[in-house]
């Protein structure tokens, strides 16, 4: 009779969620730094809405937000996978949700100020 317990594995969805959070967070951080760099080197510190650099920054920010949303969904799904460790699912969910909630808070703040 074999009574050795097999170790419980980590959730693959949770690991994917955490990796997505880190990579998308780095892309978003890079876009923020690039926006600061462009703003510092632009006379007056403002870009027109049709400037390709402004469009690139917007696409990077919105794209990373979409990927973060996907990562949050994977984190939530990883919480409900049976007989798996949920540590990476929680980490991924938190790391994906914080920038999303922060971005939504900034949007609401901007709408309230205009």
C-alpha dihedral over 16, 17, 19, 24, to 10 degrees?
130
pLDDT at position 5: 80
Global confidence as pTM: 0.85
**Radius of gyration for the alpha carbons in the chain, expressed in angstroms and rounded:** 19
Q: At what angle do helices 87-113 and 52-79 cross, to 10 degrees?
A: 140
Residue-by-residue pLDDT tens, the chain, 114 positions: 667 788 889 899 999 999 999 999 999 999 999 998 998 888 887 888 888 999 999 999 999 999 999 999 999 999 999 889 999 999 999 999 999 999 889 889 989 997
pLDDT at position 87: 95
Task: List phi, psi (to 5°) of 56.
Answer: -60, -45
Judge contact between 99 and 26, C-beta under 8 A.
no
Tokens of 53: 């650099």
């Amino acid at each position: 009779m074999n009574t050795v317990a097999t170790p419980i594995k980590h959730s693959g969805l949770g690991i994917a969620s955490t990796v997505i959070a880190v990579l998308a967070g780095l892309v978003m951080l890079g876009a923020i730094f690039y926006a600061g760099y462009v703003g510092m080197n632009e006379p007056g510190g403002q870009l027109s809405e049709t400037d390709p650099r402004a469009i690139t920054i917007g696409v990077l920010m919105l794209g990373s937000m979409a990927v973060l949303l996907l990562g949050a969904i994977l984190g939530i799904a990883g919480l409900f996978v049976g007989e798996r460790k949920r540590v990476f699912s929680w980490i991924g969910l938190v790391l994906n949700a914080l920038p999303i909630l922060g971005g939504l808070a900034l949007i609401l703040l901007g709408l309230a100020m205009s």
